[in-house]
Each structure stands twice: as structure tokens, then as C-alpha cells.
Structure 1
């Protein structure tokens, strides 16, 4: 992994200088000394917004919540987008942001964690120290988790010890090169980092581009759900909601607005625990990127999401406007939220056979999404029936947040829920069967050239 880390090291140095600002430069006029020295320096590295608050986008482009026209496809600005959209078997030459950017996050986190080990903890600096440490651990865990959704197979407990994971870079030394290890090692590291982060992060932070304790617990719940460990996912979802359970009443929002949700930053959206967004690509910004029409029609006429999430442009053209990023933010939100945590806990209850509590959580959420006085609570005679309802509503609530790709991967492992995806561009039809190798993206060619790790199969 030496090649990519050398690139990251250069980028980190440049971006760190820009993030820390004039005061830091004034104190370190000698370029040789432009290295972080104290806790505030390390926190400045982690506060490098928006660099540290981005997540991969290839899975979103490849998912079934969206489609584009042939003209829209031809107008995409990168081969990465085009290849993801058609589930291409061919490698994309050159830079792949989903890989490189996540390892920049990891590089920053490792620099901070190594630096903090050299600083004495005192009663005076403990809160500041814990925030920097917890933030670094969260960013590293989030990066490893997100990369596992793109560049590693879906988690299956029975074969996790034999399935390749991702390179777990745990030091900032560019001479250390990591192999892929196993998928179990990847998820074990994500869980260990998040558990440690949850132990030191504060309950509240001054700006939501920083993770809080609830965000770490929410990501633990998401991780365990992805692994199919519903007991642990339920436990962490419950712990998260004990800290923060607020939901937005959608009837208070302006459905006619081009961006109906309040700006997340610094602290306006009550449902948001932590802010991140997709890496910037043309696909999510294009008006030719449209919402699946069957999905759009599935919303009840009294369901406020139908007008708050979507623009009906006429002639069957439906586009998405309901990003939780809020006003002033053009990219789609991918962070941690209470609505997702309610849906995680609801699904876990159902999978454990508890339809009553499963639907109680779902109804608590959905009553805030409908016109006042119109919501009819869901009921179900069995836990399986409840689960089917919950999975449908999960998709309807969490679309365009980077979660659908992971959901497709994990649900394809269940025969009754496996689906084949289909794209039509002009006269060409593209298909993606369940559990196809293309549900795992290829590792960038540039990375393979500098590191002797195995490529994902095709």
C-alpha cells in the first residue's frame, strides 16, 4: 500500500496546513516544523471539513433507487461513474476517489492517534484529549466500514475468516504495507475502534461535522446490522436512542422548498447525529438522475415524504431533493441519524420475533412523516409480516443516503429477498443478478501496481 500512502502523505501535509490556518503557520514558520505538536493541532487536522466528512459514492450510483437517461449517462464526467452505473466488469484506469479519500481519512486518524500517545493526559486536558482521540477512532472506523461495503464481499459469519477484507492501515509510516487480511479482521477493527470512540466521545459537540457518542453508537448498530448480528445491533441502537431520540415532524417543513430540511451545520437538524456526504461527482447533481418510478408511486398520498423528498417535474420525471444536508449544501447526506437508528432497532426486533416492539418503533417514526391526523399505524399478525413492512419503509425513508447498496448486498443473501437489478441505455440492457461478483468493486489499478494484494474476482 506504499504508493497510495505516499500520495496521502503529501495530500495530508498540504491539507493540514490549509486547515490549521494562519495562527498555526505563524507559530511554525520553519516548514520543517510544520507538524502537529499539541492536542489542538491534532483536532485541527480532524476538523478539516469537508475533506473528513465524505463517504464513497460508487455503491449509490450502482443501486436501484435511481436511473438516468442515455444522454445523462453520456454526460457523466468520469469513467468511475459510468462503470458503477452499468456494473462494468472492466477496471477503471487512474484515480478512484472512493479508495484514496478513505485512506486519507485513515492517514489523518493514525497521525492523530500516534501523536496523542506522546502527550501526557492531565485533568486539565482530558476532555480535549478524549475528543481528539474519539474523533480519530470514529473516522478510521467509518472509513474501514465504508470501504468494506465497496471493496469487500458482504459479511457472512460462516466464511468471514476466509474472505478477503481490506488493508487495515494502522500506522502513519509510509514504509509499512498491509495485506488484505480477512473480512472478520476488518469488521473486528471497525467494532473495536467504534467501541473505544463511544467510550471517550462527548454526548454533544458544538458542530455536527464532529462525531458525538451517539454517532459512534449508531455506527455500531449499523455495523452489526450489516453483519447480521441483530442482538448486538438492537443493543447499540437502544443505547443510542437513550441519548438522542428526537425526530423531525415533517408537517413543520416547507414542502415547496428546493431544500426542505434545516441546514445540518452547525447544529440545526435534530435527527442528525453526525454529518457526512458523498464524494462530489456529477451523478447526484444532475437533473437527469431520476428516482425509480415504482419507488415513487409506493408513497401514500398523505405521506409527506412524497412532496418533501421529491420534485415531480412532469412527464414521469421525478428527482430527489430531500437530502438531510439542508439548505446551503448541494451534496447528498450520508451521516448518522435517529430515523435510521429507529429503523435498525425496528428490523432487529422483527428478526428476533417481536412484532409488537418492531412496529412500535416503526409507527413512532412514521407518524412524524404523514399529514397530521392521517397516519394509520401498521399492524402485522407475524414478525415476518412486520419485517416485510419495515424493510419497505426503510428503503422509502433512507434513500439516497448511501445505505441501499449495503442493503441490497445483505438482503441478497436471503433467497426470498434477492432481486436482479436492470438498466436500459438506448438499445443496451445491463443486468446485475443477486450475489454477482460485481457487488464488490475492483481495487484501483494504481493501488495494485504499488501493493501485492489480490484483486477482487470478476
Structure 2
């Protein structure tokens, strides 16, 4: 893999939102700073990555995604013993207990920070491209990449810190601030509506589709591609409930990138032969667009998740019994999928599952079954695999939802799925967490499924309205 140079950018951490004092920040004279000016500089900034031992992939820069949403889901469980063994932060525990205030006034929300850092970096690139010398074709590619990274950041922000997209109320529902330009003063950080954020995301994606290459080489999968743009477009339309548009987009994505890995061939752990190890990201043909949670995630799945796996499903081997290694843990399993590639961008299994879901919702029963069987034929031992053939539309859609959990158990997207299933399908999913002697439940459509915005940011920018809590 190529060594990728770092560019230090003075204001990469979106100081307009996180600095303790805006004017005070402007007095700082940073050292050893390279301000990007050339197309080569902008390329280096877009490729600002580093090799990580823990996930076998690329972290930092535009690759970093969020982690906190996993603690709101019904896929993982936490206890005092687990928290101590897995070095969970106090913010993780507060999130797990649905505390109205996850981050106190002195704490940074690292997920909020990461996405707005990426947005600001994209703005720097887009602003600088106007005056940079170079070919228009190269400028267009850099612009398309910056916009797709920005779209991904806004899409996740609006799903973390706002209610799920509802066509009837999206124009008035509070979304997230849209950070325009690179100025550090005179900023308007009033929250845009959910509709405005989605409109921006869709516009950015459509631009990328016109410009980007079909796919990227395996060693450059952190760069956006047309397949990634179509995949993200399908996901956005799915979340909006625009299923016909989502089907067109996901079919386009899969026409460009459709590799699946037979996980029967995955290596087993040297310390536990019963544990299947997810390949390093750069060796995983399923990755469409690489992003990562950025570090070694250790989680114990719930019994409800583990019980979804059928006999012969090799995905069950992504989880290992840790009781022989950690004292005082009862029935704990650890997800190996996070050890070598907690890829949280886009991958082909998710595309097949989107294809299955939208076909099921549209009544295309055979097409939905076909998409599921394409995926599942690579997930079971040969002697136990039987193709499914579900003819009832309601039963089929429920099966797709369960398959999403089986394929991506413990993922950062489960919270988003709960929100959309409850809103769009009236699934009435509640989440109950127990930690020590505390047991808390989020009822369906609770306002607390929406993350609170960090107090630190609201104190600095009082125009940012806090999310209501139950």
C-alpha cells in the first residue's frame, strides 16, 4: 500500500462549532501548517489516511464514522463487568442508559466532531478548487469526491441528531446545521430542516454520479466511486421511503460492483478455531466504499441477535465465547467482524439487502427472494444451505429485516433501522437495557431515539436548538 502523506490544516476541526472561544481561537498561530492550495494538496487532503492495526484498514480524515449509535440498539448488551473489560467510556454507558445528557459541558462529542471536521475539510477543498491551477477534469473529480464525502457526513448527522425522515413533516423538523464556506466569523449555525439536509445530500450525490469512475482499485477503496454514489443514493431513498427510486439506484450500484465473499473460506482465529475472522479491509472484495469506526470495538451481542442465526449459518462464527478469558462474564460473545474491518461505509451485502427490501416493499416477490438467496448462498455451509422461497409479502419483508440484523449485527445502522421501521412500518420496536441494578426502556418513537446535541456546542452557539427529551 502506498504511503500517504498527511496535510495539517489549521482549521480542520470545524472551530466554528467546537472551539471554546471563537475569537480566542483566531488568535492562535499554529506551527508547521500546510495550507492546501494546489490540486496535489487537495488530493492529499482527500486521501488523508493511515493504516490501523486494529481494523486492518484505513482511519482518520474522511474515513472516520460514528460509534455512539450502537449503544442505542437492541443488538448489544452492556454490564459493569463488560464495561470494565472492554474499557467503555462514561459516555458509552450514558448512551446505553438513554441518558438525556450523553456529553456534559466539558466533553466533546467525537462523532459530531468527526463529521463536521470532514464537512469543513470538504469546504476547504471546494473553495480552493476555484483558484487552483490544473485540468478541469481533475478538478471535477476532486470536487465530486469532496461532495460525496460531505453528503455521507450530513446523511449520518441528520439520522443521528434528528427524527427520521417523514415526508409530511420533514420541511419543519429540525435537522442539523449546514456549514457553508470556510469563514470563521459571521456564521449561521441555525439547524436546517430535515428536508433541506436531505435535499443537499441528494444534490451532492447526483453530482458525483456524473463525474466519478465506476469503481476504485482495491487499495484506493477509501475514495468514492460511481458504485458508491449509487449505493449511497439507494440508501438515502430507502430511508425516505422512495422505494422505486431506491430500486433503480441499487440496481445501478450492483451493476458496477457485486462481489460477494463466501465466508466459508474465511480464515479462523489462531486462538479460537471456532471463530471466523473477517478479512483485512484491503483484502475484502465486498467493500464498495471504505469508512470505519476507527478502532477496536468490543461488544457483547444480545441473546435476541444470537438467536436469529439458523443452524449452518457461518455468520454465527463471527462471535466467540469469551468466558474462558475474562472472569465474571456470563454468556458473553464478542463480534470478530469488528476486529479486522469494522467497515461502516458501503458494502455489497448491504446493497443486496437494500435490493431485497425495496423489491419486497414493491411486491416484487421473486426478485426479493433472489437477492436474499444470492447473499445467503455465501453465508451457510454447503450441506445446510436451502434457498428460501417466501411468497407472503409481509412475511418476506420481516425476513429481510431479520437478515439485515444477521448480516450486520451490532452495526451503527441498527438505530437508524429502528427509527425508520417504527415510523414507516409501525413496527413498535422498543429497546430495553439493563446495567447493574438499572433497567431503562425506550418505547417506540421515543424522542430519546434522537441523540442530544452536546452541551458544549450549544453553549458556544446558542442558536443551535437542543433536541427535546422524554
- Normalization by structure 2: what TM-score? 0.85
Q: Does 1:195 align with 2:210?
A: no
Q: 1:270 aligns with which of 285, 290, 296?
A: 285
- Number of aligned residue pairs: give it: 425
Q: 1:420 aligns with which of 421, 430, 438?
A: 430
1:192-242 deviations in Å (ceiling 9; x for gaps):
111111221112324112222111111111111111111111111000001
Quick one: distance in 1 between partners of 2:94 and 2:153? 22
Instruction: Please name the residue that 2:124 is paired with.
Output: 111
Q: Where does structure 1 lack aligned partners over 5 or more consecutive residues?
A: 18-29
Quick one: distance in 2 between partners of 1:253 and 1:446? 44
Structure 2 SS opposite 1:319: strand
Quick one: distance in 1 between partners of 2:215 and 2:179? 29
Q: 1:400 aligns with which of 398, 402, 410?
A: 410
Q: Does 1:450 align with 2:437?
A: no
Return the structure number with greater helix share: 1
Q: 1:162 aligns with which of 149, 154, 172?
A: 172
Instruction: Please name the residue that 1:254 is paired with.
Output: 267
Matches within 5 A, 1:313-392: 313=322, 316-323=331-338, 326=340, 332-392=342-402
Q: Does 1:242 align with 2:281?
A: no
Quick one: distance in 2 between partners of 1:155 and 1:415? 13
Q: 1:137 aligns with which of 147, 150, 164?
A: 147
| Cα drift, residue 316 of structure 1 | 2.2
Cα gap change, 1:6 to 1:45, in 2 (>3 Å): farther
Quick one: distance in 1 between partners of 2:22 and 2:373? 48
Cα gap change, 1:99 to 1:223, in 2 (>3 Å): same
Q: Where does structure 2 lack aligned partners over 5 or more consecutive residues?
A: 1-13, 50-58, 324-329
Quick one: distance in 2 between partners of 1:91 and 1:424? 17
Q: 2:232 aligns with which of 210, 215, 219?
A: 219
Instruction: Please name the residue that 1:96 is paired with.
Output: 109
Instruction: Please name the residue that 1:24 is paired with.
Output: none
Q: Does 1:151 align with 2:161?
A: yes
Cα gap change, 1:171 to 1:3, in 2 (>3 Å): closer
Query: Which consecutive segments of 4 or more residues in structure 1 shift more than 6 A?
Result: 7-10
Cα gap change, 1:8 to 1:62, in 2 (>3 Å): farther
| Cα drift, residue 131 of structure 1 | 3.0
Contact 1:3/1:447, CA 8 A, preserved across alignment:
no
Q: Does 1:35 align with 2:52?
A: no
Quick one: distance in 1 between partners of 2:308 and 2:155? 31
| Cα drift, residue 120 of structure 1 | 5.3
Quick one: distance in 2 between partners of 1:278 and 1:2? 22
| Cα drift, residue 129 of structure 1 | 2.5
Query: What is the aligned-residue RMSD (CA, Å)?
Result: 2.5
Instruction: Please name the residue that 2:197 is paired with.
Output: 186
